[in-house]
Amino acid sequence: MRSQALSALLFILLLTSCRSVKPRPGQDTPGVQSGTIAFAGPPGSVQSMDANLTTYSYVAITDGVISGLGTGTPPANAIQLPEGAAIYPGLIDSHSHAISLFVPTINDSTGNPFWLNLASVNVMLQPLCPPPSCPPQQQNCTVQSNSCFSPMTTQDQVINVLKNAKPNALGWVLGWSYEPSRLSCNNASYGFLCPNNFENANSQTALAQMDAIRDDVPMMVTSESGHIVYVNTKGLEQLNLCLPGNGSAKCYAPIFSPQAEQCVAKQGQLNEDLAVYAVSYILGLMNTHMRTQEDPLPVFRQLITASTQKYSQLGFTTVQEGAASSDVIAIYLAVAKAAPLPVRMAFLNFIQQPLSGSTYQKQIAIAADLREGLAHSDMFLAGIKLFADGSNQGYTGAMTSPVQYTNVNKPFTDTACFPQQPYNGEADMDANSLSQAVQWSHEKGLPVFIHTNGNLAQAHSISALTGNSQAGIRDVIVHFTMPTQEQVQSVAKASSIGVTFLMNDFYYYYQPLCEQLLQPSGTANMYPAAWAASSGLHMGLHSDTPVTPPSPLFSMWVASSRSVQAPAWMPALLPECQQNRSNQLISRLQALKAYTSDAAWLYNRDAPSKGVTPIGSLQNQYAGDLVVFSADPLNPATDLSTVKVLYTVHNGKIVYSDPTGSNPLIWPN
């Protein structure tokens, strides 16, 4: 967060919290349940997910760690599983941005939402809204509610919602999770073939398009990917960016590709770190508006509490905050200090500073101290987050031959902003910058997690990691969207590098990526989980929430079926894309490992080390984290879309309970 009203307070919170998280010998750790709790069922109902895939009939947890596993008589008072239920280790989220999940549900002081939900994907896993009743003169209306989901299907719907919106209590009109690649413009065309979306500036800049919708109040719209934000003139003025002609001493300067970012920012499109800054700025304003003397963090407390509860309902016991500034980490510590969270939090520290100068290295040193300070708490700093590039859907992933972007429009074809033509994406950090950041991080004992989508960015990331490997440090390539088979094998050979695959992205975005952005040749083996599995590569599956829904069973289903969404408003998938769709299938077991034992490996918490309780499998002295499913996901006859979470147990404490399975199913619509 970059709200100056918060920064001083949060820095103090960060320091004091870090000093206070080391427990004294014999001191109770917040969130750890004392005493013993046990679950029991028929033989084979407890799936350990250990190296031998051992099964049991009961599991016992004492004082927060597993104390017993067996097939004989269970402990007294063990909770008996209903018929068909199965126990697994608590699920581990290998990449998401938890604090952002429920942003559109936050109401202002008047009871109205700060943000309008413009998503075409049901990220928040809400019930569907009833069909809208359109007035005769309005053919593109939609239900606007922060308690149910109604997908945006056309650009006209988006425009109507923004045009008719009442400004929130901050005086802004704010739109959340807009995605032009999935919007139709007629029965046969969609996405970037439509002439009127904010990503197509051939006729008008995004600034002009936004001003045409609203010029009376500041307005901002975020992309679903999170890598691009669109603003009107009043919004651009309010954000106070360091642009030519703006000499304010307190303006915010772009870090990645500053000349290109400043150029497109003047046209109303904010890329990469400017997008992160803009969203953080608004969240800071929201919190300032809502805070009281009794609660200085009401908005952030609500976001963190709601998201971690939802993750717990889905069976997660470890959740990631995937690009956390020191301010965000301090907020989590403050919220958890008041009330322990139902999950363990893993932070990726994103240092929003240029590599030049000494500030970046100082921030790495602070991160190393924080990692040590959090070592025995229910939160941990997993590593440093680096961005090699942006989003393929937003044309900001860094590509190279033979993969080329197609249907590229202004501003990316504007030589004043992007002199290197034909345009094929932008690298946030090149190979040299990545290598330097990896080296500095490793010198402080910190792993790195590199965000990479384009094939050029992947090559840069692999080079930086293999050239700076260090014993005992495990690094992670996040997303790893389109590597070659040889690149996958080279990463596996390094043995100290893991990967994560944004499998849900395949379901929701394969069609526009295959048909419009990258063509079939560039998407034939997207998210190559099968190559990774056959190479012995440790991998995680993830949702990158709030980009896609944080549903682990859904991700497992996508990975084991390679299914693609067919929305009613989109045309049928082209045959040449259909034939590549089933490449890279993996088994349900491989997908489950990606949420348990393999995911624990990515965090270097798969075995006892330096007094840190391991996670990811059910073994004696491992963390007392488990999930009870209503049916066994590994049973081929089990329809994953019908499986419910009956219990989630974290550190020996039942944090979610639905023993009869009476709660509604949680499955993306």
Tell me the angle at which helices 273-290 and 4-20 cross, rounded to the nearest 10 degrees: 90
Question: How far apart, in Å, do the first and last CA atoms of the chain sit?
Answer: 32
Same domain, 85 and 154: no
How many residues are given for the chain? 669
Task: Confirm whether 660 is domain-assigned.
Answer: yes
Under 8 Å CB-to-CB from 419, ≥6 apart: which residues?
Answer: none
- Structure-token match 């792993």, residue found: 447
Q: Which two tokens stand for residue 218?
A: 């500041």
208's enclosing H/E stretch is helix 206-213
Closest CA to 224 of 605, 547, 600, 617: 547
Q: How many domains does the chain have?
A: 2
Hey, is 163 helix, strand or coil? helix
Q: What are phi and psi of 447, to 5 degrees?
A: -70, 165
Same domain, 83 and 149: no
Same domain, 193 and 238: yes
Hey, is 633 helix, strand or coil? coil
CATH number of the domain within which 79 lies? 2.30.40.10
Beta carbons of 554 and 668 less than 8 angstroms apart: yes
CATH number of the domain within which 278 lies? 3.10.310.70
Q: Which two tokens stand for residue 192?
A: 């970037």
Q: Which two tokens stand for residue 164?
A: 């008719």
The distance from CA 45 to its chain's CA centroid, rounded to whole angstroms, is: 31
Neighbours of 407 (CB within 10 A): 16
Same domain, 110 and 65: no
Task: Confirm whether 333 is domain-assigned.
Answer: no
Same domain, 222 and 74: no
Under 8 Å CB-to-CB from 526, ≥6 apart: which residues?
Answer: 481, 482, 506, 510, 513, 584
Neighbours of 156 (CB within 10 A): 17
Task: Confirm whether 67 is domain-assigned.
Answer: yes
Same domain, 81 and 104: no
Beta carbons of 419 and 484 less than 8 angstroms apart: no
- State how far the Cα of 65 lies from the Cα of 51, in Å rounded to an integer: 19
Alpha helices in 551-648 (DSSP H): 552-561, 575-578, 588-593, 597-602
Task: Confirm whether 216 is domain-assigned.
Answer: yes
Last residue of a domain, one of 262, 288, 314: 288
pLDDT at residue number 357: 82
- DSSP-assigned letter for residue 191: G
The distance from CA 465 to its chain's CA centroid, rounded to whole angstroms, is: 22
Same domain, 67 and 109: no
Closest CA to 560 of 584, 538, 537, 542: 584
pLDDT at residue number 669: 73
Same domain, 56 and 114: no
Task: Confirm whether 567 is domain-assigned.
Answer: no
Same domain, 141 and 235: yes
pLDDT at residue number 137: 55
Same domain, 284 and 141: yes
Beta carbons of 352 and 254 less than 8 angstroms apart: no
Chunked in runs of 10, what are the mean pLDDT values of the chain (669 residues)? Answer: 43 46 42 85 97 97 96 93 96 97 93 95 93 63 77 94 96 96 86 88 94 97 94 96 79 92 96 94 96 94 97 98 95 94 97 90 95 90 97 94 93 95 94 97 97 96 94 96 95 95 96 94 95 97 96 97 94 92 95 98 92 94 98 97 98 96 90
Under 8 Å CB-to-CB from 60, ≥6 apart: which residues?
Answer: 36, 37, 38, 66, 67, 68, 69, 74, 75, 78
Domain of 650? 37-90+616-669
- State how far the Cα of 648 lies from the Cα of 129, in Å rounded to an integer: 29
Last residue of a domain, one of 272, 288, 304: 288
Same domain, 149 and 229: yes
Task: Confirm whether 45 is domain-assigned.
Answer: yes
- State how far the Cα of 534 lies from the Cα of 601, in Å rounded to an integer: 17
Last residue of a domain, one of 288, 310, 344: 288
Task: Confirm whether 668 is domain-assigned.
Answer: yes
Closest CA to 311 of 645, 653, 664, 651: 645
Closest CA to 269 of 141, 414, 102: 414
E strand map for 454-597: 475-479, 497-501, 539-541
Task: Confirm whether 30 is domain-assigned.
Answer: no
Same domain, 69 and 110: no
